[in-house]
Amino acid sequence: MFRRILSASGVWLCLANAGWSAAPEQAPSPAGSGPSPPSAPAILPAPAQVAAQLDALLGDVWAKAEIAPAPRADDATFLRRAWLDLAGEIPPVDAVRAFLNDPEPAKRARLVDTLLASDEFGDHWGRVLTNWTIERRDRLEDGYDGRVLHAYLRGALQANRPYSTVVYELITGDGVKDRSGPANFLLRYDASAPVLAGAVGRQFLGLSLQCAQCHNHPFAKWTEDDFWGLAACFGRLHVLEGAADVGPLTAVYETRRGELERPDMKAELDEDGERPTKRVAPRLPGEKTVVAGDRREALARWLTSADNPYFARNAVNHVWSQFFGQRLANSLDNLDAFQESDHRVQVMEFLSRDFTASGCDLKRLLRVVTLSQAYQLASGSGAAPKAVATGDADAGAARQARLKYFAIFPVRPLSVDQLYQSIVRGTGHIGHDETPAEEDETDPSSEPPLAIAAQAVHSAERPGGKMAGPAAMEPPKSGKAERGATELNQADDPYDMPAEYTDWSVDLLGEQGLTIQRTLTLLNGAYVHEATQAGAKLAVAMRGRWRPAQIEWLFLATLSRQPTAEEKREMLRIQSEGKGQRGMEDVVWALLNSTEFNTNH
Amino acid sequence: MLWLPPTTRRGFLGSSLAAGLGLAFSPGMQRIFGAEGSSPTAKACILVWLNGGPSHIDTFDPKPGAKTNGPFKAIGAAAPGMQFCEHLPKLAEQAGRLALIRSMTSKEEDHDRAYRLLHTGSEPNETVDMPSLGAVLTRERPSDGDLPGFVSIQGESAGAGFLGLEYAPFVIDDLDNPVANIALPEGIDLARQSRRLRALESLNHGFARRADSERVADNGRLTAKALRFQRSPALNAFQLGDEPSSVLEAYGAVGDTPQFGKSCIMARRLIEQGVRFVEVRLDGWDTHDNNFATVAELLGQLDPALAALLADLSDRGLLDETLVVCLGEFGRTPKINPQNGRDHWAHAFSALIAGGGVRGGQVIGATDAEGAEVIDRPVSVSDLFATLLTAKGLDPAKQYVTPEGRPIRIADKGQVVHELFR
């Protein structure tokens, strides 16, 4: 069957090269607007079945490359991994216990379902999608409030609206920047036609369209005219700047007349040294005829069409890199380099096909990937510890080969958000004064913060719904308004953003990746220091004065597993050297600084 | 003290040793330096980044008499044929120490993209995340002290791209508190920290056995580096407190706008401690309106600081081994717009280069009478990068291999501007 997929992909490539717009016409929706409904697939195989097909595909690849995959990750490892990847944080202690004690064979699939239905999933993947769409963090910066787009995308994810519909809305939207996700998206690119054309190519097709702005694109068959024709679809967008005295009310709207003007590079400069411009008609890449009717709708329909292979490939590429730390293709530009024999291309085409067939069901794609064998492999080779510890060159080379073929799970540094949320989860320390509003309603203010934090960490997993405890226990998100996903569910205004900049994860841990500056922050920074103290207190609150029980609890809270006997002994020794609480703080410090804690593995 | 597995980290090049040896015998290098016997001497580099794109006509390429010139007069410099804007008197005195390229040219007039271009040598593209020059130099010539090899002051510079975070810049935002989280937290003494590190080592040892020893080793190296850094006497380089007031005044690090002067002093102090690449930033050159008042004000900061930096490096015997480069994203239009401003212009702009074996007192290339187009000796950004790599004793033709296995040259096919060195 894979032969068939590949030959189909070959057809796609040809189509793409010829401009795939030769594809069947889209039936316009009744009102002449709105996305074309994703073609309802007759019968879709269950995600688990698709995952099994992916396993078979990679199994063939491994056999051919003579690579033995790493063993299956144990339950604790899988639990932590799935939480970090789907919910953006480590699991609470009770969730760890419950999962490890659950005898149900299908518990991994059930966990994935639970996580995909959680508020944390909306927050985390909303952030992922924000970065993917606008190449920025979801924060208020330089007068642009990326949290608005995040709120919109979170809502779309929680409702599991088709990814194609979401993109369609982003492209065709209008309105006030701080009141509409789509307007916020368009204004991120200043509603500028050429800038948006480049962004659409880059963010939604994975193509460097913007290169065709000045010259014909060397790889894909984009011409300069294709680029400008596409840009002209945004040619009637205008920005309305709100007067300063009525507050920031920047809006984007479309006029009914007017055409995009582009610099005419062939014309001579005029007397003032200005370059004359020429008009550009809206045209979809590869098409000869000018777009009739609503041009942004036409563009959005073309972009998200099931016949546009780049749209699904790009989504699959992003999703894959989110889980495996490497893209399937670094860019989709270079079609000539698409080797059908390359396992990465095979995976991309296979997943793209299912994604398209499902009507761009993002949650389904995440399910398929997380249920696959590749995602559930251990990050250790399973070789005798001695051979690994000596780190001989052969072991290193074998690991590289396995990584290349997705035959071992990669160890990846946590993102700043994952790291912050996980420290909060593990120690109960949020690092700022914010008091969740709900707390006052549910509880007298006499409630000591520690107990609240303890409850947060302790909160039990509830199947099929929210996992964190009461809303008060929600760890703070990088925007205050985002804290209460419950607020969103209660149909409060999703765009009601606090007026001030809030980005606690970056504020407390720094913007840099895992550099010397981040390392210093973890070693000596005030926030981690406080979290260390909070974590030690929490261990006492949760497990009383019996030190071994505290150690065990701290391991579950930070590393989502039981300590080994050796670790328990060693940590108790360290603790006793430091005397009492201070000794336990030292243990917490070591846990938070450990590579096991600050990576996803 | 930290546990590191005895594994060797795999380099980006299959055979970095061979590449390193090959460097010395590269035919290109021999052609350039072999005959003259002079060789590039730069060990370090200071990039003075004029953020926003400075008007070349109002700084290093004045056009007295032309209607595009604006109100500034040109003044002679201490080198034949060299004229500067009248607001650069101190730098004009240092002209014998610097070379001026007036024929820089590119096609990139978008800020972000031109910023990337001038920092990495390549047009930004989706396919490869190119490393900045600072990252490349730091990788090729690791710092020999306790400080990071690459420091960027008051600007983020550009990252290490595919070379990896190990070579990313150490970014200093706040000049008065340049290095955060150096002091141990309250109540933690060295004995307690060492106990904590023992606990950490024990945990990491176990994780390395179970999961990924290479990742643990990477983290271990980073921790070791951070600890060395935090305890190093070289940290004093970040503190300007012991600089005499005469130095502060010379750099213009006094008054209302002392930041840029302070940045330049800090750059010199860091270079003295073995830092390989320092970027300092002077912001505000995007003068779409009110160009002349703004530029005059900025030159009031640039002139003393850059002139003092050159003189100071020279006095301390550091100029020969320190390449100093000053430029921005692009130039600005000869045409003065209705807001009395100038807009983006990449057709022609200037770059100032000093130290590191560069022969000072020379002008390379020229623009036309209005400062619009390059009419002599065009120098592309690739050419500039080939030149800067060469000045650091590196082979511009060296190929790097990205993690995806794609071979890449930093300076593409750029040609070295030979005359700089002779």
Domains of chain B, earliest start first:
16-178+260-420 (3.40.720.10), 180-238 (no CATH)
What pLDDT shows up at residue A455? 46
Round to whole Å and give the CA distance between B325 and B362: 15
Does residue A443 fall inside a structural domain?
no
> Residue B80: what residue type?
P
Nearest to B219 among A330, A399, A595 (CB): A595
List, in order, residues 6 or more apart from A106 with CB less than 8 Å away.
none
Name the residue with tokens 């799935």. A82
Contact B199 A570 (CB under 8 A): yes
List, in order, residues 6 or more apart from A88 with CB less than 8 Å away.
A120, A123, A124, A125, A127, A415, A417, A418, A421
Does residue A243 fall inside a structural domain?
yes
Q: How many C-alpha atoms does B313 have within 13 Å on its Cβ side?
A: 29
Round to whole Å and give the CA distance between B281 and B46: 11
Chain A environment of B196 (Cβ under 8 Å):
586, 589-590, 593
What domain range includes position A255? 161-304
Helix (H) or strand (E) run with residue A413 in it: strand A412-413
Q: Which two structure tokens, joined as six digits, stand for A374?
A: 């590749």
Name the residue with tokens 């041009």. A295
Please state the separation of Cα A592 from the chain's center in Å: 24
Label residue A32 exposed, middle or buried (CB < 10 Å: 0-12, 13-18, 19+).
exposed
- The ranges of chain A with pLDDT < 70 are 1-42, 210-221, 243-248, 265, 269, 271-275, 331, 334-340, 383-394, 434-492
Round to whole Å and give the CA distance between A157 and A160: 5
Contact B168 A515 (CB under 8 A): yes
Domain count, chain A: 1
Does residue A151 fall inside a structural domain?
no
Query: B340-357 b/e with 16+ CB inside 10 Å = b?
Result: bbbbbbbbbbbbbbbbbb
What pLDDT shows up at residue B36? 40
Contact A590 B223 (CB under 8 A): no
CA-based nearest distance A587→chain B, Å: 7
Residue among B387, B167, B388, B120 at smallest CA distance from B275? B167
Does residue A259 fall inside a structural domain?
yes
Round to whole Å and give the CA distance between B264 and B175: 11
Does residue A59 fall inside a structural domain?
no
User: Chain A neighbours among B 221-280 (CB < 8 Å)?
Assistant: 222-223, 225-227, 229-230
The three-class DSSP label of residue A191 is coil
Condensed to tens digits (0 to 9), the pLDDT of residues B256-267 reads 999 999 999 999
Q: Are B398 and B140 in contact (CB under 8 A)?
A: no
Round to whole Å and give the CA distance between B325 and A288: 49
Q: Which of A224, A345, A519 to mutate to test the interface with B (most CBs of B within 10 A)?
A: A519
3-state secondary structure chain B: CCCCCCCCCCCCCCCHHHHHHHHHCCHHHHHHHHCCCCCCCCCEEEEEEEECCCCCCCCCCCCCCCCCCCCCCEEECCCCCCEEECCCHHHHHCHHHEEEEEEECCCCCCHHHHHHHHHHCCCCCCCCCCCCHHHHHHHHCCCCCCCCCEEEECCCCCCCHHHCHHHCCEEECCCCCCCCCCCCCCCCCHHHHHHHHHHHHHHHHHHHHHCCHHHHHHHHHHHHHHHHHHCCHHHHHHCCCCCCHHHHHHCCCCCCCCHHHHHHHHHHHHHHCCCCEEEEEEECCCCCCCHHHHHHHHHHHHHHHHHHHHHHHHHCCCHHHEEEEEEECCEECCCCCCCCCCCEECCCEEEEEECCCCCCCEEECEECCCCCCEEECCECHHHHHHHHHHHCCCCCCCEEECCCCCEEECCCCCCCCHHHCC
Contact B200/A at CB under 8 A = yes
Does residue A52 fall inside a structural domain?
no
What pLDDT shows up at residue B164? 83
Compute the C-alpha angle A216/B162/A381, nearest 5°. Answer: 125
Helix (H) or strand (E) run with residue A573 in it: helix A565-578
The three-class DSSP label of residue A236 is coil
Nearest to A272 among B185, B223, B335 (CB): B335
- The ranges of chain B with pLDDT < 50 are 1-38
Does residue A222 fall inside a structural domain?
yes
Does residue A131 fall inside a structural domain?
no
What pLDDT shows up at residue A335? 53
Contact B112/A at CB under 8 A = no
Q: What is the pTM of this model?
A: 0.80
Chain B environment of A393 (Cβ under 8 Å):
7-8
Q: Which two structure tokens, joined as six digits, stand for B342?
A: 């100038």
> Residue A278: what residue type?
K
Q: Which two structure tokens, joined as six digits, stand for A213?
A: 């702005």
Nearest to B181 among A211, A520, A586 (CB): A520
The three-class DSSP label of residue A72 is strand
What pLDDT shows up at residue A142? 77
Chain B environment of A571 (Cβ under 8 Å):
199, 202
Contact A599 B215 (CB under 8 A): yes
